Structures are given as C-alpha cells and as structure tokens.
Amino acid sequence: MQRISAWTKLVTALGLFRYGTITGGVAPTPLKAEWLNMVQEELANFILAYLPELDAEDNTQLLKAIQVFGERYPVKATTLAGYGIIDAYTKPEADWLLSKKANNAITLAGYGIGDAYTKQAVEALLAEKQALIDQLAKTKQDKNTALMAATGWHLDSATGLLEQWGSGFCNPDSTTGAIDFPRPFAEVYNCFGNKITPNHVDSDGNAAGARALSATQYQLFNDTATYSATIHWRAIGKAPGF
C-alpha cells in the first residue's frame, strides 16, 4: 500500500490529495491509474481471502469479508485499567464461542485463564464486566456537582475547580463581619463583588465589593458614605483534596 505521493509530486506536504487553484497556479493532484489499481487490488485481495469470489452486484463484500475475519480471529477486549481485568473476551467473541460450544466447558487457552468455564460462568463474567463499564460511565456522568441556588456553588470533580456565589447586605461606609463560604476552599484564587444598584449622587462614588479573609470566610465592604448596599459576590478557587 502506498500514498498517491509514490506516483506524483503534486500532493500536500503529508502526501495527500490536494485541490488546485487557478489564481494561485497550483495544479490539483491527478488521479493516477497506478494508484487506483493498487487500491483495487488491495481490496480485492482482502475480499478473496475470505469470500469465494468477487461479485459486481454486491457492494457489501468488504464488510462481509471483515465479518468472516472477525469470526475466524476473534479479538480480545481492551484491558480495563485499575479493575484487574486483562485479556477479557468481548461480547461478540464470547457469543461466538458459546454458539460453538453450547453448554460444554470451554478453555480460554492463550488468554491467561487456564481453567475451564461453562456457558453460565462466561455469562456471569460478561455481566460483571458490564457492571464495571456501567460504573465507569456513572463516574464520568457524576464528574460535576453543584448547589444551584441564590447562594450556591459548583465543583468540577475532574479538576477540583470550585466556584461559589451569593449576595449580602452592607451598611454605608462599613464592612461586614466574617461570613462563611458555602463550602470551604483549599485555596482562593479570586473573590469579588459589586452593588446591585449604583448611586451616582453619592459623594464617595459607588465602590463596594467582597474580599476573601481566608479559605473558609469572606467579607463584604461598602465605601459609599450615604447609601447601604446589597452586594452580589463571587469566589473562585481550588477545592480541598485536589
């Protein structure tokens, strides 16, 4: 098997077919008879290795040849890392073996399992394997957790990124006491806030916000001299254990 670049230099840098451009003076990759014949013979040889003859009326012969190949040479399943399952049978492979052996014991020779297994034992193994796959899928689905409320949080369990938010009241030209975050941080990257409604006539402007006092507490502040403020705040950081 060769790429088209084996027969012509009018190709991309990776040896692929390219479009031509009239304005740029770039010629397209020509279809070479040698390359087409090579592809044809590759496909025909594979089909004839598993089917008796080529059939011009059947456009599924390559698929059928691959299916015959799979029946003759069943492939072992991918290892499920961390679960102690290695060289396991795929479901199609096990079904094929069971159809050939019925309820007779079958030895999984060559797959690291020396004992004989009955049909029921193999089915139990497949059920256990499926349970592990389902658990992996559930773990992936549970990657993110959150408390969706006016004062809440969102945790990305894959990275440990913790985001929290809420609101509070602060008197004119003052600060609040320490307030607990909904969930403790391991480290706070940023904590900020702003008033819901600005007051343009205030002599101090409209400065108000929030700041982190520690990984577990924050404080609201309001620098306006005359007006109290309701402040929306937001904090981002790393959750404990990550």
* pLDDT tens per residue, range 52-107: 999 999 999 999 999 998 888 775 544 444 544 445 566 666 676 666 655 444 44
Mark the ranges of the chain whose per-residue pLDDT is less than 70. 75-94, 96-118, 136-143, 200, 202-205
Extract the tokens encoding 233.
């705040």
Dist. CA 242–CA 39, nearest whole Å: 52
Q: What is the pLDDT of residue 186?
A: 96
CB contact at 8 A, 108 and 89: yes
- Every domain of the chain and the residues it spans: 4-72, 91-141, 145-238
Whole-prediction pTM: 0.43
Dist. CA 27–CA 9, nearest whole Å: 10
Q: Does domain 145-238 have CATH number 3.40.50.300?
A: no
Question: In which element (H, E) is residue 50 found?
Answer: helix 33-50
Question: In which element (H, E) is residue 97 found?
Answer: helix 91-101
Cβ contacts of 29 within 8 Å, gap of 6 or more: 4, 8, 10, 11, 16, 17, 18, 20
Q: How far is CA 139 from CA 60, 144, 163, in A?
A: 39, 10, 21
